[in-house]
């Protein structure tokens, strides 16, 4: 660091180089901003007083030190930090820089600046800025998934070796709306208990099942394939670094209330169902035929209703004599015995399976969960 007295220049004897009014230099470490600023003030004085030699020595020392400091800070900026990762994951959670800044107790400009520095370092935008907030870009979604995983791993290390607290083992699964998959989850929780384990289950849209597994929110995703959607889903799996593993195959069934006029038929045709509303799970903005949870998604139904949860759909079956097309693997313990699954005449084979991150080994809890599913089918 450059050190000198703050104030007037210090006169030195001739042994210091014979320079009138020259200033002794001590160079150690980085230069604080106040000393760099002082250099420019002293430069003007030196030029007026004619102490050019001392000025040149100081200029060379300061310039070299500034360059070394600049390189140091460049290197610092090129290494992302855990703090930056917390910033971007919180911004994604809040969908707003302002709200994230409040949650993190930092100013909004500082937060935005840190996020932009990180984006410059990795070479792409994590967020698309809009008047309503921020939305992760496709690359940003993938980056955020890895960032969350890294932060979670850091938290585990801190809890285990710094705070020395016992960390609960975690397992989470996302799925299309399957009662048999929920039943298997219930059995898993009963088997292991919740004292040492932390569980999560998400019945959700097809695209979100894929996103949850890709972003490490869930270890497994339960969904189905058939001849119609297989190519589209396999493409999505490849793009999101996932792999699909089949669990079982089955035919198409009509699921309806036991009081429905067709409930006692041994088989039902699609023609016989045309006067009744077909109930479908809403897929949100990704409402593609390929992402539909129901079979025969391209069929032109005369009447249809979309819902976003299983309880609502069951109520619509009773209230409106609605129906849905499903795998026929129904858990009466969860749905009750008021409903029937009747084979559809125009059946098509479907394959229900799970997706996981490509190349990653399943945890013991995930393996046991899959065993519980096999017991329910």
Question: Do 272 and 292 sit in the same domain of this protein?
Answer: yes
From residue 210, alpha-carbon distances to 171, 173, 242 in Å are 16, 11, 8
Q: How many CB atoms lie within 10 A of CB 85?
A: 19
Query: What pLDDT is stored for residue 161 in this prediction?
Result: 78
Question: Do 154 and 281 sit in the same domain of this protein?
Answer: no
Question: Do 227 and 364 sit in the same domain of this protein?
Answer: yes
Last residue of a domain, one of 52, 77, 102: 77
Token pair 């059995």 is found at: 187
Question: Do 266 and 340 sit in the same domain of this protein?
Answer: yes
Question: Where on the phi/psi map is residue 325: left (φ > 0), alpha (ψ -120 to 50), or beta?
Answer: beta
Q: Is 1 exposed, middle or buried (0-12, 13-18, 19+ CB in 10 A)?
A: exposed
Nearest 5°: phi and psi at 305? -135, 135
- Whether residue 4 is contained in a domain is answered as no
DSSP 339: E
Last residue of a domain, one of 77, 97, 126: 77
Query: Residue 226, Cα to own-chain centre: how many angstroms?
Result: 28
- Whether residue 2 is contained in a domain is answered as no
Q: What is the pLDDT along the chain (377 residues), one digit of tens a residue?
A: 444 444 444 444 444 444 444 434 333 344 444 444 444 444 455 445 544 445 454 455 555 555 555 544 444 445 789 999 999 999 999 999 999 999 999 999 999 999 999 999 999 999 999 988 999 999 999 999 899 988 988 887 887 777 766 667 889 999 999 999 999 999 999 999 888 888 999 999 999 999 999 988 999 999 999 999 999 999 999 999 999 999 999 999 999 999 999 999 999 999 999 999 999 999 887 778 889 988 888 888 999 999 988 889 999 999 999 999 999 888 877 777 889 999 999 988 999 999 999 988 999 999 999 999 998 87
- Whether residue 104 is contained in a domain is answered as yes
From residue 117, alpha-carbon distances to 88, 124, 148 in Å are 11, 11, 19
Query: What pLDDT is stored for residue 2 in this prediction?
Result: 44
Listed residue (251, 250, 259) closest to 339, CA to CA: 259
- Distance (Å, whole) CA 315 – CA 137: 38
Query: What pLDDT is stored for residue 114 in this prediction?
Result: 93
- Distance (Å, whole) CA 79 – CA 186: 44
Last residue of a domain, one of 162, 192, 218: 162
Query: What pLDDT is stored for residue 205 in this prediction?
Result: 93
Question: Do 110 and 39 sit in the same domain of this protein?
Answer: no
pTM, two decimal places: 0.61
Listed residue (327, 363, 377) closest to 220, CA to CA: 363
- Residue 322: which CATH number? 3.40.190.10
Q: Which two tokens stand for residue 106?
A: 């930092």
Question: Do 179 and 328 sit in the same domain of this protein?
Answer: no
Q: For residue 76, what are the β-bridge partners?
A: none
**Strands 169-175 vs 197-203: parallel, antiparallel or unpaired:** parallel
- Distance (Å, whole) CA 348 – CA 152: 42
Question: Do 143 and 227 sit in the same domain of this protein?
Answer: no
Query: What pLDDT is stored for residue 33 in this prediction?
Result: 47
Question: Do 183 and 255 sit in the same domain of this protein?
Answer: no
- Whether residue 133 is contained in a domain is answered as yes
Write the CB contacts of 2 (distance below 8 Å, at least 6 apart in sequence). Answer: 25, 26, 27, 31, 35, 39, 58, 61, 62, 65
- Whether residue 1 is contained in a domain is answered as no
- Whether residue 189 is contained in a domain is answered as yes
Question: Do 108 and 49 sit in the same domain of this protein?
Answer: no
- Distance (Å, whole) CA 170 – CA 165: 15
How many domains does the chain contain in total?
A: 4
- Whether residue 3 is contained in a domain is answered as no
Question: Do 116 and 264 sit in the same domain of this protein?
Answer: no
Q: For residue 353, what are the β-bridge partners?
A: 223, 246
Q: Is the dihedral of CA 10, 13, 16, 21 positive or negative?
A: positive
Question: Do 279 and 189 sit in the same domain of this protein?
Answer: no
- Residue 143: which CATH number? 1.10.10.10
Question: Do 369 and 320 sit in the same domain of this protein?
Answer: no
Listed residue (328, 325, 319) closest to 299, CA to CA: 325
Domain containing residue 34: 14-77
Q: In what order do the strands lie in the sheet with 220-226?
A: 197-203, 169-175, 220-226, 350-357, 242-250
- Whether residue 8 is contained in a domain is answered as no
């Amino acid at each position: 660091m450059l050190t000198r007295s703050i104030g007037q220049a210090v006169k030195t004897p001739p042994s210091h180089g014979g320079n009138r009014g020259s200033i002794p230099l001590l160079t150690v470490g980085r230069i604080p901003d106040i000393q760099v600023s002082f250099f420019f003030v002293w430069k003007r004085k030196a030029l007026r007083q004619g102490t050019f030699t001392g000025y040149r020595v100081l200029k060379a020392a300061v310039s070299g030190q500034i360059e070394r400091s600049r390189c140091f800070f460049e290197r610092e900026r090129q290494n992302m930090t855990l703090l930056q990762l917390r910033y971007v994951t919180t911004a994604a959670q809040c969908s707003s820089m302002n709200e994230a800044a409040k949650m993190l107790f930092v100013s909004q400009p500082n937060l935005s600046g840190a996020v932009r520095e990180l984006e410059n370092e990795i070479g792409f935008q994590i967020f698309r800025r809009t008047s309503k907030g921020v939305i992760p870009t496709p690359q940003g979604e993938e980056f955020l998934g890895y960032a969350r995983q890294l932060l979670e791993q850091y938290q585990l290390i801190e809890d285990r070796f710094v705070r020395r607290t016992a960390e609960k083992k975690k397992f989470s699964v996302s799925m299309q709306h399957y009662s048999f998959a929920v039943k298997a989850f219930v059995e898993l929780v009963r088997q292991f208990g919740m004292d040492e384990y932390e569980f999560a289950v998400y019945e959700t849209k097809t695209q979100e099942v894929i996103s949850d597994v890709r972003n490490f929110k869930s270890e497994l995703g339960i969904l189905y394939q058939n001849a119609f959607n297989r190519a589209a889903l396999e493409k999505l799996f490849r793009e999101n670094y996932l792999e699909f593993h089949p669990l079982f195959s089955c035919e198409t069934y009509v699921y309806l209330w036991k009081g429905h006029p067709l409930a006692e038929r041994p088989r039902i045709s699609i023609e016989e169902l045309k006067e009744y509303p077909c109930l479908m799970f809403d897929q949100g903005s990704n409402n593609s035929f390929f992402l539909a949870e129901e079979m025969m998604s391209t069929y032109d139904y005369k009447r249809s209703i979309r819902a976003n949860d299983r309880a609502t759909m069951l109520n619509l079956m009773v209230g409106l004599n609605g129906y849905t097309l499903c795998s026929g693997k129904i858990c009466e313990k969860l749905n009750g015995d008021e409903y029937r699954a009747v084979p559809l005449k125009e059946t098509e084979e479907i394959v229900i399976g799970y997706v996981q991150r490509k190349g990653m080994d399943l945890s013991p809890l995930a393996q046991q969960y899959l065993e519980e599913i096999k017991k329910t089918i």
